[in-house]
Amino acid sequence: MAAHTVSGQGIHLGTMESFLAALDSAFQPFDMEGDALRQLHALKQLSRPVDKYVSEFRVFATRTGLTDVSQLIHLFRQGLDSDITIQAIRQGPDNNLQVWIEAAKQEEEIICMERIYLGRCQGRNPEERKYG
């Protein structure tokens, strides 16, 4: 008997696991790597904490299957807020994505400390930060 059939005696769906697997595969993107690459190109920090941006970036980067470090760094920099990108570039990180991530985190901390001093950033914990 097929997993999902219709006969004179009714509908036979098979096991719940096979039904859910068929449902998942029916709604998967046709080109999962291409879809992840489009999402990676569209990903922006948008004043969110760098840690949250990095988490999303890593998920999409893994799904794309990209291995070219220069391309990954370019995409990472493109999505960062411009003030953080400019300051991170001044650190002169090498061709290593993890070094870029650390530079962005450090610059976010410096920028937030400056804004706290000026009264425009609330929250010392990155998850609680709100920029004004």
- The per-residue pLDDT for range 117-130, each reduced to its tens digit, is 887 665 555 555 55
Look up residue 4 and give its two tokens. 């999902």
DSSP state of 127: G
Question: In angstroms, rounded to a whole number, what is the distance separating the alpha carbons of residues 106 and 95?
Answer: 17
The pTM for the full model equals: 0.69
Q: Which neighbouring-strand residues pair with 5?
A: 12
Residue 48 near residue 123 (C-beta atoms within 8 A) = no
Distance CA 10, CA 31 (A): 35
Q: What angle do CA 112, 78, 58 make, to 5 degrees?
A: 85
Question: Domain segments of the chain: what residues?
Answer: 1-30, 32-131
Tell me the CB-side half-sphere exposure of residue 7, using CA atoms within 13 A: 9
> 6-49, pLDDT tens digit by residue?
566 666 667 888 878 877 777 776 788 999 999 999 999 999 99
